[in-house]
């Protein structure tokens, strides 16, 4: 008889949603499938390939289950497979949305591509094809994708932007005749099948008042034009996950212990302005022993009592700059706490928030003022893509010369930067703050454009909890000393 672990490894119904190129309809199809299956009462686990916060937030809303990211640039094969397994146990179907074209990666070998994720996890691929101005030629294109990499298994096709019944008939018959794989759906052209864009991609679902209505509409379209039962069967035929380690378990367990004497209180600024957080990052802090408390920078006027650390993620502070400026009391508290040595880790939007001001168009908005710079918003990206940082000496967050892999995407740049500022990172790949440096260090503050993922940089959570614990211990020692006088 097989053990429960062996059965769970074998029984992970899953599909990767890929496409020949970006803007083919992957996200529309993925969201529609997630919501359609969830409405049937199924447990649905979404994943997003790549360092994407926004699509992931939509996946979470559609499935009613937290979306996870899979990225082979800063995650190893063990971490990727472990994440798929640990999050998929007990679920009916797992859906992994790809990015860009199926084989598009960082180099000639296609590293960090959607195809690589499909091969690492041995997941079959459902190909979404934009059929605009094509009929029989679609089959030639699909056939090329079938045979380009023998390690990738394309098991079905969804036709998108189909013009009319004859168009669907010709493309469907060509694919099934020449490619020998099923067409499991044909979605008609529909101008309403879109989500408003912004400079970093899709807008976050939290900003849309009619999120559920839109997701239900996408699910209705998918249910009407895609064979859900056939897609479920394709997912159920996925082979077992590869045995890449002796034990495929959540990876954070090996990096620390919950059994700590101290439980530092770490605040997370998490609201409409700051929403870019990987769930694994927050889970890592909790696993290391931290008590995590939420903070809303738009409405909370003070920091939680007894705070030992602060984590400010990315987001769109420039969009909410006026509201952030109005909350003068919280900005003053954060500046005072930072000056008093509170450990603060800030990423991208958090970096911008800790500066003196954010300048958008012709307006300028005051921010925390803890760090000596202003932020200027630009129309074009100032940094976008994967990063490799080398940790400098003299900062307590990372070991000297450690290689930190991450990613950046920002339309802002820092201006009026104090020339005497201390940097924690030397940029080896990416842009950072000035093309050469990133990670402004001030007392126990580390503020950077670089985003990291806890599975790719587990030491980050341990260092943050240790710094918070040290700060908390010193704080209580001071309190006890004053009380004893």
**Which residues are marked as active site?**
348
DSSP H helices in 305-430: 321-326, 328-339, 349-354
Give the number of other Cβ atoms within 10 Å of residue 209's Cβ: 7
φ/ψ (deg, to 5) at 276: -90, 90
Count, in order, helices (H) and strands (E) of the chain. Answer: 14, 24
Four-point Cα dihedral 27, 33, 35, 37, nearest 10: -160
Q: How many CA atoms lie within 13 A of 462 on its CB side?
A: 12
φ/ψ (deg, to 5) at 235: -65, -40
Asked if 257 and 286 touch (Cβ cutoff 8 Å), the reply is no
β-strands 197-198, 201-202 pairing: antiparallel
Task: List Cβ neighbours of 362 (8 Å cut-off, separation of 6 or more).
Answer: none
290 to 162, 265, 282: CA distances (angstroms): 52, 6, 9
φ/ψ (deg, to 5) at 5: -65, -45
Tell me how far the alpha carbon of residue 458 is from its chain's centroid: 16
Tell me how far apart the alpha carbons of residues 28 and 24 are, in angstroms, rounded to a whole number: 9
Strands lying side by side in the sheet with 44-49 = 68-70, 44-49, 93-97, 14-18, 125-130, 154-162, 183-188
Strands lying side by side in the sheet with 374-377 = 363-366, 357-360, 374-377, 412-415
Asked if 47 and 28 touch (Cβ cutoff 8 Å), the reply is no
């Amino acid at each position: 008889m097989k053990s429960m672990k062996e059965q769970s490894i074998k029984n992970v119904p899953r599909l990767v949603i890929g496409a020949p190129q970006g803007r083919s309809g992957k996200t529309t199809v993925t969201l529609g499938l997630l919501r359609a299956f969830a409405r049937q009462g199924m447990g649905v686990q979404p994943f997003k390939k790549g360092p994407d916060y926004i699509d992931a937030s939509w996946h979470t809303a559609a499935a009613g289950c937290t979306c996870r990211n899979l990225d082979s640039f800063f995650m190893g094969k063990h971490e990727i497979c472990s994440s798929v397994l640990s999050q998929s146990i007990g679920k009916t179907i797992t859906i992994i949305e790809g990015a860009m074209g199926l084989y598009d990666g960082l180099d000639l070998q296609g590293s960090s591509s959607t195809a690589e994720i499909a091969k690492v996890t041995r997941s079959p691929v459902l190909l979404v094809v934009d059929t605009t101005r094509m009929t029989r030629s679609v089959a030639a294109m699909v056939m090329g994708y079938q045979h380009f990499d023998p390690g990738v298994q394309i098991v079905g096709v969804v036709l998108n932007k189909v013009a009319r019944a004859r168009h669907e008939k010709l493309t469907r018959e060509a694919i099934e005749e020449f490619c020998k794989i099923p067409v499991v759906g044909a979605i008609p052209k529909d101008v309403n099948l879109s989500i408003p864009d912004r400079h970093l991609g899709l807008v976050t679902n939290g900003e849309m008042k009619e999120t559920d209505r839109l997701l239900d509409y996408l699910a209705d379209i998918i249910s009407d034009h895609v064979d859900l039962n056939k897609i479920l069967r394709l997912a159920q035929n996925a082979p077992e996950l590869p045995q890449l380690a002796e034990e495929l378990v959540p990876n954070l367990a090996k990096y620390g212990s919950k059994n700590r004497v101290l439980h530092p209180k770490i605040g997370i600024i998490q609201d409409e302005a700051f929403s870019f957080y990987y769930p694994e990052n927050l889970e890592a802090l909790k696993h290391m022993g931290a008590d995590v408390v939420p903070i809303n920078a738009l409405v909370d006027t003070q920091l939680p009592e007894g705070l030992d650390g602060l984590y400010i993620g990315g987001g769109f502070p420039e969009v909410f700059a006026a509201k952030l400026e109005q909350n003068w009391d919280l900005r003053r508290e954060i500046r005072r706490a930072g000056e008093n040595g509170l450990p603060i880790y800030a990423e991208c939007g958090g970096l911008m928030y800790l500066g003196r001001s954010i300048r958008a168009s012709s307006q300028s908005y005051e921010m925390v003022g803890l760090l000596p710079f202003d932020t200027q918003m630009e129309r074009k990206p100032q940094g976008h893509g994967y990063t490799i940082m080398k940790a400098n000496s003299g900062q307590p967050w990372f070991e000297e010369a450690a290689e930190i892999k991450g990613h950046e995407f920002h339309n802002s740049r820092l201006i009026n930067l104090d020339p005497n500022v201390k940097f924690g990172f030397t940029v080896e790949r990416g842009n950072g703050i000035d093309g050469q440096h990133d990670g402004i260090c001030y007392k126990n503050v580390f503020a950077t454009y670089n985003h990291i993922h806890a599975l790719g940089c587990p030491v980050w959570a341990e260092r943050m909890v240790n710094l918070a614990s040290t700060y908390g211990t010193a704080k209580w020692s001071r309190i006890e000393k004053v009380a004893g006088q």
